[in-house]
A and B are shown apart, each in its own frame.
Chain A
């Protein structure tokens, strides 16, 4: 059995928090540059060019791309043949987040209680989704999530009879309602199937999939493409000020569901769709 010490986890999580906030993921960088070339809205094009300049300043001067450096969301796949030594894995991840947000001069955006709202001052706790998987590796994906876009997310409990058209209409409605609030161009994460909470988790996970990649299932890949076209025909555009680049990608993840239902979650993300993965 392979052994990994939690010090290793702390170090990697800390580095990943900083890196994700300073350097935009390659897939997003590429999509934004491509969109800037193709955008035909006057203000829209200007905004995309500002976003490119912003990314360049962020990387060069080591300033976070966006001031909302997010709540740290992690997807952690733990190989069932891996032995973790040291402290608890959750404590180690939170310690990594604590160090990353402090040493990286990232914003502390977490309040301890939703109503009392006292800042925890170290951006913990993180939101951690664990999966037990075959093998002896530890795969960590960190997606620091900003709340301008998070606030515009939705869960719809659709009926089976709503079908594909119902899915498309709901996602489109969510995008229109989000409009300028979600800092378009957005990435639209969609979770379809499962139950109430799994749909939402899948929607978040969909955001960590490479922008521009397609779902493995042929019919889902087609729907992704069709929704993207619909979204980009709304005219909302970059900054919500008119243009054809309303979304850079629509990523759908699915799961089996109940005979009576078709849960759908739409997790909005801004153009600063941060996600970074390491395998330890």
Chain B
């Protein structure tokens, strides 16, 4: 399935846990330090450095780009470290997250409440995924180095829907399904 990013809530509702999706459009990178700073800014009444509404965040800290490269190795980091900050970010309109690994109950509840979606990219496939990133520009928190926020244009970026807007969780169902099949 191919979809364009950003996407609206109607599109979110069509995505089901287990769907293999290729994303094309604009996404933003942010990981630990950027989340902490965004979160603290928002708690103090400030704004995130880009409009969260309808957007997708990729939990990413790439390796440096060599001359002629758009970006270095660019695979997902473990999402659970962003769990503390995620409900507030979802409340502010974010529609999707790309990472890897389990999410907390609070995040899953916030995904359902705000009608959002959690995708996994293949962990450790940073070289392959970097090829799907066609443009990349640091737009905020430059001082954080690899943890800065980047605006990126992606083409056919491969992800799997892990938690959909109804709270279905592929990490639970896929293992059960595999075992039942045996």
Interface residues of A (CB under 8 A from B): 41, 43-44, 46-47, 50-51, 53-55, 57-58, 61-69, 105-109, 117, 119, 121, 148, 151, 179-181, 183, 234-237, 239-243, 270-272
Contacts and interface: CB of A to CB of B under 8 A. Distances in A.
A241 B171 contact: yes
B33 interface: yes
B30 to A, nearest CB: 14
Contacts of A234: 175
Contacts of B62: 67, 107
B92 interface: no
A67 B61 contact: yes
B127 A58 contact: yes
A99 to B, nearest CB: 14
Contacts of A50: 122, 125, 128, 158
A57 B124 contact: no
A61 to B, nearest CB: 7
Contact of B100 (A58, A62, A180): A180
Interface stretch (B42-50, B75-83, B104-112): B75-83
Interface in B58-115: 60-66, 69, 72-75, 77-78, 80, 100-102
B34 interface: no
Interface residues of B, number: 44
A109 B145 CA distance: 10
Contacts of B160: 43, 239, 241
B175 A117 contact: no
B75 A66 contact: yes
Contacts of A243: 178
Contacts of A43: 160, 174
A57 B131 contact: yes
Contact of B145 (A108, A151, A180, A236): A108
Contact of B127 (A47, A63, A151): A63
Contact of A65 (B20, B65, B73): B73
A240 B69 CA distance: 31
B102 A183 contact: no
Interface of B: 20, 33, 60-66, 69, 72-75, 77-78, 80, 100-102, 120, 122-131, 144-146, 158, 160, 170-171, 174-179
Contacts of B128: 50, 53-54, 57
A179 B174 CA distance: 12
A180 to B, nearest CB: 5
Nearest to B74: A67
Nearest 5 pairs of A and B residues by beta carbon? A242-B178, A181-B101, A183-B123, A242-B174, A58-B127
Nearest to B101: A181
B65 A105 contact: yes
B171 A180 contact: yes
Max chain A Cβ within 10 angstroms of own Cβ: one of B65, B174, B177: B174
B41 to A, nearest CB: 17
A42 to B, nearest CB: 8
Given A50-B125, A67-B75, A180-B101, 15 more contacts: A50-B122, A63-B63, A63-B127, A66-B124, A67-B72, A68-B126, A107-B63, A119-B144, A119-B145, A148-B101, A179-B102, A180-B120, A235-B176, A237-B178, A240-B175
Given A180-B100, A181-B80, A241-B160, A67 B126 contact: yes
12 contacts: A54-B126, A61-B127, A62-B66, A65-B73, A67-B60, A67-B74, A105-B64, A107-B61, A181-B78, A181-B100, A239-B100, A242-B178
Contact of A148 (B69, B100, B120, B176): B100
Nearest to A24: B124
A67 B73 contact: yes
Nearest to A244: B178
A179 B78 CA distance: 11
